[in-house]
Chain A
Amino acid sequence: MLRRPVRSLLTVTGVGLAVGAVVSLVGIASGFERSFVDLYARRGVDLVVVRSGVTERLTSALTESLGERIARTPGVRSVTPVLMDVVSFEDLDLFGVVVQGLKHDALALADLKIDAGRVLAAGDRQRVILGAMLARNLGKSVGQAVEILEGEPFEVVGIFESYNVFENGAMIVLLDELQRLMDREDQVTAFNVRAAGLADRAAIERLAAAIEQVAPGLQAMPTEDYVNTDSKIRVARSMAWLTSTIALVLGTVGVLNTMIMSVFERTREIGILRAMGWRKSRVMKMILWESVLLSLAGAVIGTVLALVGTRFLSRLPSASGIVDGGIAPMIVVQGFLIALVVGLLGGAYPARRGARMLPTEALHHE
């Protein structure tokens, strides 16, 4: 490795980019997913009720009055209606900004950490609170106006910090205001349901089945399932793994090429080691170890790149509400395990080839 520093460095860089792609892409996708699951768990939401058969969650539409009927289902502690829509601020390159409509007494509002101003109160007309990241991207502070739709200026009464990156990039208005604004009278996107008592998974599933009987067209899902089956999250996860797989194949080919060259150049040395009594398995281990070392060095570089890259991305307005800038330690471990596999795969053939050389032929190799 040290005898061909440029080649080794290029290989390490190749593996580093591959591992960096895995750690960042999978990390972003799973972080996004995880933050939702955590958010629901934190607010005690056990079930999310949406229109059945809807793949794009934002298009789910339910009648708000269904909430009262769901609340009467035995085992339900509370029901919170939520309406969600998206708006864009094209002049600022901000697209797909989520607007949530909540009732003033929704638990989600009470859970927000208010950085400036106040939370929404009953009767707040044309008033909005902004996620900290969105406020930064819009350049708005408390007291200023945000034109959510053309000719619909809303006064910013508060800026909040959420535990969820998605919410930090979103804004919240009162439910009836959003229904008016979007011309979706009496409509909600979903109901967040809290179960009574400490219910286990089986009890939650029984409650979901009971809620689905309240009215036709209802789908009640445990929050984890709701998040995992979200089409955007699934696409993000698939894209992350697809891109990562391509990167990893390229990384493996890079290691393979380097190790084949290395074994070829050191044919005579391998012959010497074999002549000195080194077993084939020891020669194989030596070559594999080198290959794994290259890959793990790549993993270190890749992880640093991924951590710096996602942190940088999280600060870009266009990625706000998507990238939270943090990567779970488990994803980093996964990156290192993948690098280990890349090293073993890339080194396996050269190692076998090196170990199987006849000492006499290897010694006379020019």
Chain B
Amino acid sequence: MNNLPNTPLLQAQQVSKTYPDGEVRALNEVDLAIDHGDYVALMGPSGSGKSTLLNLFGALDVPTSGDIIFEGQPLSQIDNLDRFRSEKIGFVFQSFHLLPVLTAMENVQIPMFETSLAAARRVERSHELLGAVGMGHRATHLPRQLSVGERQRVAIARALANGPPLLLADEPTGNLDTANALAILDLFDELRRERPLTIIMVTHDEQLAHRAERIVRLRDGQIVDDGLARARS
């Protein structure tokens, strides 16, 4: 994590989000900066806006007002958000979201189809990534043949397919027992040691959140506590 640029990796600037189907304001003028290499836990009760913020960070949705800045560039000025997601963001979901008809290796290759990698290189890289998450021996298995913990490992390998600098994890341990949940967080630590990776993780679990280096708490669409800010003040 040394020699990182001074510009934050990610910034939310006065970000608000109101969903069109109701007058619910999911986020209300949120400001937040995430540095390169940060490991952030987003916490808050249901409806506090943490998943909405994660979706905005991942360019899966656009803010009603304000902007998300990634490496100094506003997402609103990026023409091809699909390519941005493919290259810059890795997603890990609570329900793993692996495609059931594809093997672990094929699932890992999904994001690579948007790159210029040749087929042979895609296979090679998926093997490398599965090896990195301890799933090299299960490469040809279908998701239904894997345990829930293994499925989440495959999902993490998939998230890292194109070497993104940012990993967004929405309740990554929500469907796992404690042992598997801890194993996944150990894997996050290991991955951060091996590569320059920033992780933002949404979680309900206070204990697991403390594995992160910074805890940001939201309530009613606003940041009510920022662990790092408190440490610095």
Q: Residues on A close to B: CB < 8 A? A: 2-3, 268-269, 272-280, 282, 358-360, 363
Decide if B101 touches A278 in the complex (CB within 8 Å).
no
Q: What residues of A have a CB within 8 angstroms of the CB of B84 in the complex?
A: 277
Q: Residues on B close to A: CB < 8 A? A: 55, 58, 60-61, 80, 82-87, 89, 91, 93, 97, 99-101, 110-111, 113-114, 158, 161-162
Chain A interface secondary structure, helix, strand, loop or mixed? helix
Decide if A276 touches B99 in the complex (CB within 8 Å).
no
Decide if A279 touches B55 in the complex (CB within 8 Å).
no
Known: A268-B97, A358-B61, A363-B93. A278 touches B82 (CB 8 A): yes
Decide if B58 touches A275 in the complex (CB within 8 Å).
yes
Chain B nearest CB, measured from A250 CB (Å): 29
Q: Which of A269, A277, A280, A282 has the most CB of B within 10 A?
A: A277
A to B CB contacts below 8 Å, 11 in the list: A3-B101, A269-B97, A275-B91, A276-B111, A277-B83, A277-B85, A279-B83, A279-B114, A282-B114, A359-B61, A363-B97
Chain A residue nearest to B85 in the complex (CB)? A277
Chain A nearest CB, measured from B155 CB (Å): 10
Chain A residue nearest to B88 in the complex (CB)? A277
Decide if B114 touches A278 in the complex (CB within 8 Å).
yes
Q: What residues of B have a CB within 8 angstroms of the CB of A275 in the complex?
A: 58, 60, 85, 91
Q: What residues of B have a CB within 8 angstroms of the CB of A274 in the complex?
A: 82
Chain A nearest CB, measured from B80 CB (Å): 8
Decide if A282 touches B93 in the complex (CB within 8 Å).
no
* Additional pairs, 20, CB under 8 Å, beyond known A278-B110, A359-B61: A3-B100, A268-B97, A269-B97, A272-B110, A273-B110, A274-B82, A275-B58, A275-B85, A276-B91, A276-B111, A276-B161, A277-B83, A277-B86, A278-B113, A279-B83, A280-B82, A358-B61, A360-B61, A363-B60, A363-B93
Q: Which of B84, B87, B97 has the most CB of A within 10 A?
A: B97
**Cα(A53)–Cα(B86), bound, Å:** 71
**Cα(A279)–Cα(B85), bound, Å:** 10
Chain A residue nearest to B164 in the complex (CB)? A277
Q: What residues of B have a CB within 8 angstroms of the CB of A278 in the complex?
A: 82, 86, 110, 113-114
Interface residue from B83, B89, B91, B99 paired with A269 (Cβ < 8 Å): B99
**Cα(A241)–Cα(B135), bound, Å:** 57
Q: What residues of A have a CB within 8 angstroms of the CB of B91 in the complex?
A: 275-276
